[in-house]
């Protein structure tokens, strides 16, 4: 089901569906634009049980917000110094991933995972480097 609005920072913001992208095996992303707001865009990412998103280094952008919607799994962030932080998926999880950090969502072996990504400014090619 495609969204018509998305709750961000306590507000229901109207969105328009753009396209569904196949990111990797077992991972797809629905891309949305915020109505009347060109400062950011939204990706709803679905990760099938036992799959993970590519490891991606953030190369540019003001903010890359990663957040939880449903399912089980976690978000792994590798900081500049190589330290890994693991965030268990759960209500209220929202992380602002900094430029230079590496991120990866991982679904539990027995549960799909649904998460969101908000990019300020909107996503464009070259924002992330896939490390696999």
* pLDDT tens by residue, the chain, 132 residues: 899 999 998 999 999 999 999 999 999 999 999 999 999 999 999 999 999 999 999 999 999 999 999 999 999 999 989 999 999 999 999 999 999 999 999 999 999 999 999 999 999 999 999 996
Answer yes or no: is 5 within a domain: no
C-alpha to C-alpha distance for 25 and 32, rounded to whole angstroms? 21
C-alpha to C-alpha distance for 16 and 30, rounded to whole angstroms? 10
Q: Do 98 and 85 form a contact (C-beta atoms < 8 A)?
A: no
Answer yes or no: is 116 within a domain: yes
Answer yes or no: is 51 within a domain: yes
Phi/psi at 104 (5° precision): -160, 125
Answer yes or no: is 26 within a domain: yes
C-alpha to C-alpha distance for 18 and 64, rounded to whole angstroms? 19
Answer yes or no: is 10 within a domain: no
Q: Which domain holds residue 22?
A: 15-124
DSSP 35: T
Answer yes or no: is 76 within a domain: yes
């Amino acid at each position: 089901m495609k969204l018509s609005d998305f709750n961000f920072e306590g507000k229901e913001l109207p969105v328009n569906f753009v396209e569904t992208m196949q990111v990797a095996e077992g991972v797809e992303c629905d891309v949305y634009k915020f109505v009347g707001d060109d400062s950011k865009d939204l990706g709803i990412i679905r990760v099938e049980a036992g799959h993970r998103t590519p490891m991606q280094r953030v190369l540019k952008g003001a903010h890359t917000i990663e957040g939880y919607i449903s399912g089980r799994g976690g978000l792994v962030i590798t900081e500049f110094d190589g330290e890994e932080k693991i965030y268990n998926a759960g209500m209220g999880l929202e992380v602002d991933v900094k430029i230079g950090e590496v991120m990866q969502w991982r679904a539990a072996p027995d549960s799909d995972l649904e998460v969101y990504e908000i990019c300020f400014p909107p996503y464009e090619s070259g924002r992330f480097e896939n490390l696999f």
